[in-house]
Structure 1
Amino acid sequence: MDVVGGSEQGMMQSKTSREMGNRRALRDIKNLLGAQRNPYVVTKKGLTDSKINLDDQNPALGARRPITRRFAATLANQSQAQYQDSKENYQQIGNDREHAAAIQPDDSSDLEEVEMEESVVDSMPDIDSCDHDDPLAVVDYVDDIYRLYRKTEDESCVDPNYMSKQFDINEKMRAILIDWLIEVHYKFELMEETLFLTINIIDRFLESETVVRKKLQLVGITALFLACKYEEVSVPVVEDLILISDKAYTRTEVLEMEKLIAGTLHFNMSIPTPCVFMKRFLKAAESDRKLELLSYFIIELSLVEYKMLKFCPSLLAAAAIYTAQCALKGQEEWTKTCELHTAYSKSQLLECSMLMVDFHLKAATGKLTGVHRKYSTFKYGCAARTEAAIFLLGTNP
């Protein structure tokens, strides 16, 4: 064997491996750089390099020597000693395990609780089971979508005291505008999403810009125009919006206001409104047409009220459905499935629900009755004629 040549080649290979930094595929190599090599690890080099001098006097490399009787006896004694040590180690490990099992606390009760919680979740009905064959229902992603809605719903919220920054308009004027827009939305036969987005655009714009009262209606019809562009397939033309405002504004004014609103909101129309949560929560409540219409009646009453801006969209939607269920059942109704999918308990909904009951009682009185007239028609199932859940007003939060 060429020992010298082999040593030089081994040194070159070792140097190359050091320069490569002991790289390992798909692993963080920072913790390997500069680390000492474990002397007990068998490497590829140790298996394949045939030029290692096995006659080296290093006992770790297994020095070669003649097998005499004395040397054979020594090897036999060493093997017996190693066997005894291994046996004692295994016995000690077994004793340690028995001792650990004896002193380990009993976690069976905790495990039972976890299993009970998991069984409760598993026993909940799958509200998407009927839509597995519908690609538009995106059943595989719907939970992730609504999880994102919950994270981003704060973007659609406004300061509930923003009206204090306005010098020429007030809460009552806002209510008159929204009540009128609900009637316009009904006459144009637009989608529910359009109405909720329109009102959200108005509030977000008024939070950022001061508006004089003679321009407030212009803000309203332009917000409706933008919402239609975002939600509708067939969008009303500008001339239609001018006609419904009794020609109070020109086409140029509408288009200029459209630029101003879109720029102020940074063209952000993709926000979760109460409407997106209503669809999901009604599904969790296993709603029928009657519950659906009454829930929308109650939440549209809330859209008119400035004081309801303090509640986030998901809470408004859940409270509207809870209030409608109580009105129809004549008692408190909120299932575990509803609580699971809305993430709200009855106690969390009660404050908002009590306000909604009050709006329901007063819906037919006063000057702002647009929502009541809309839901008194047969098209909307005469939902406005349903008795309000008055018993909730006496409930302690």
Structure 2
Amino acid sequence: MMEEADENRGAGPAKPAAAGFREAGNRRALRDIRNLVGARPYPCAVTKSKSGLDEKNPIFETRRPVTRKFAASLAKSQPESCVERTNGRPVLAPIGHERRNKKPADASDCFRAIDVEFSTDHDLPLPMVEEATKEMDYDELEEVEMEDLVMESAPDIDSCDSENPMAVVEYVEDIHNFYKRAEESGRVSPDYMINQFDINEKMRAILIDWLIEVHHKFELMHETLFLTVNIIDRFLSRQSVARKKLQLVGVTAMLLACKYEEVSVPVVEDLILISDGAYSREEVLRTERAMANALSFDMSVPTPYVFVRRFLKSAGSGRELELLSFFLVELCLVEYEMLRFRPSLLAAAAVYTAQCGLRGFKHWNRTTELHSTYTEDQLLECSRMMVDFHRKAAAGKLTGVHRKYSTFKFGCAAKSEPAIFLLDGSSSSSSR
């Protein structure tokens, strides 16, 4: 084998191994593509000639790289019509630019022309824009500048949790943007009670006030209470319920919410016991199936809880503001008329009202406004209703929320002074 290699080496250059290489003899190496001025173009029907070169463009004969000296020589060799001047310095014009604006010599050339010039001998109407521009005096034209519509972005409030994997800082904004878009799906009509024949708003308030006490007794999570109330309202908006079964609906809704939110779920027997044995285990499980089917097993709805947490973080809250905000929101859970407010607006109004109550004047900082997307004026109506509920919380028959937040565990938030000045619109100052 070595001897054959030596013989071949002395026989001159080796021939191509395949016929395909001979057929592609006019192909250019990759290193020659677009990196040398004067390199011949690829063979095509327009540029190909018998000799393989474009005789009209002798510049294609050379294969020198572009240098400053070579570019200057090209500029000198071209006609004066091809050289443009900028600040007295010659600038090389594109090759063939003198032919670009030339009219076709005959009809056959018209098929190769891109821009066709129509004759202006005919009295054709000008387009409306051109006609208007023709009549205008260019000295009277004014420069119109578009207004910069730059939306102010919300300040970053999650950088402090960058080391906490449970805070999901990477996509927490996406989560809350989704909550804002999806909150309508979890809402009910604010007048759904007109379709109930045996229950009314007062019975609903009694049920929820009792469930708040049960929730507190079982030491369940905040999320469970808000989801329980949401399940009750959504079910009652779809299904008529007899008065004697209303408590069963409430107990079953709490069982469903616990299964969705809690780690340790109360057993059915505990819920029957807390209901004073009014219902059997079979009734609870049958009602659970009916409620889950009526709601299409959809328990993933944004409640005011998730929004309160987010807005408290944007407000830089302390423990006192947090407890007072949740006290105001839970007061609203009992009230049927508060269903007409979106969960996010309800949460923002609770934080705003709590801030006003603690500070003694109107306060709604820019960071919280950007994260909540609600201005102070948009919150005033809901906030004034909360102040009224706060003022009357200790009176009347439904005092479950007031008793709960009057304990030391909840910082005696119910005993704080309500922001009465919001009711008449008076305030000492407004901090932005």
Inter-CA distance 90–319: structure 2 relative to 1 (3 Å threshold): farther
Inter-CA distance 63–110: structure 2 relative to 1 (3 Å threshold): closer
Structure showing greater Rg: 2
Task: Give the match for residue 364 of structure 1.
Answer: 394
Task: Give the match for residue 4 of structure 2.
Answer: none
Aligned residues: 332
**How far apart, in 2, do the equivalents of 1:173 and 1:60 lie?**
98
Task: Give the match for residue 313 of structure 1.
Answer: 343
**How far apart, in 2, do the equivalents of 1:272 and 1:364 lie?**
29
Inter-CA distance 147–45: structure 2 relative to 1 (3 Å threshold): same
- RMSD across aligned C-alpha pairs, in angstroms? 3.5
**How far apart, in 2, do the equivalents of 1:275 and 1:179 lie?**
17
1:280 equivalenced with 2:317 (yes/no) = no
Cα displacement (A) at 1:156: 1.0
Partner SS, residue 208 of structure 1: coil
Cα displacement (A) at 1:58: 7.7
Inter-CA distance 76–145: structure 2 relative to 1 (3 Å threshold): closer
Where do 5+ consecutive residues of structure 1 fail to align? 1-5, 14-41, 66-74, 93-102
Where do 5+ consecutive residues of structure 2 fail to align? 1-19, 28-37, 62-73, 94-140, 427-432
Cα displacement (A) at 1:395: 1.4
Task: Kindly provide the CA deviation profile for residues 319-346 of structure 1, in whole angstroms up to 9, marking residues without a partner as x.
Answer: 0010011111111011001101111111
1:225 equivalenced with 2:282 (yes/no) = no
Q: Structure with the greater relative contact order (CA < 8 A, sep ≥ 6): 1 or 2?
A: 1
Q: Aligned to 1:173, which of 199, 203, 209?
A: 203
Partner SS, residue 83 of structure 2: helix
Q: Aligned to 1:55, which of 48, 51, 55?
A: 51
| Equivalent pair of 2:315/2:367 in contact (CA under 8 Å) | yes
| Equivalent pair of 1:154/1:312 in contact (CA under 8 Å) | yes
Task: Kindly provide the CA deviation profile for residues 143-165 of structure 1, in whole angstroms up to 9, marking residues without a partner as x.
Answer: 11100000000011100000000
**How far apart, in 2, do the equivalents of 1:44 and 1:136 lie?**
64
Q: Normalized against structure 2, the TM-score is what?
A: 0.70
Higher helix share: 1
1:248 equivalenced with 2:272 (yes/no) = no
Between the two proteins, what is the percent identity of the paired residues? 58
Task: Kindly provide the CA deviation profile for residues 301-327 of structure 1, in whole angstroms up to 9, marking residues without a partner as x.
Answer: 000000000001000000001001111
Task: Kindly provide the CA deviation profile for residues 331-385 of structure 1, in whole angstroms up to 9, marking residues without a partner as x.
Answer: 1011001101111111000000000001001100110000000000001011000
Matches within 5 A, 1:93-132: 105=143, 114=150, 121=153, 124=155, 126-132=156-162
Q: Aligned to 1:347, which of 377, 380, 388?
A: 377
| Equivalent pair of 1:54/1:62 in contact (CA under 8 Å) | no
| Equivalent pair of 2:48/2:54 in contact (CA under 8 Å) | no
Matches within 5 A, 1:1-397: 46=42, 53-55=49-51, 79-84=78-83, 105=143, 114=150, 121=153, 124=155, 126-395=156-425
Inter-CA distance 183–53: structure 2 relative to 1 (3 Å threshold): same
Task: Kindly provide the CA deviation profile for residues 133-180 of structure 1, in whole angstroms up to 9, marking residues without a partner as x.
Answer: 001101111111100000000011100000000000000000000000
Q: Normalized against structure 1, the TM-score is what?
A: 0.76
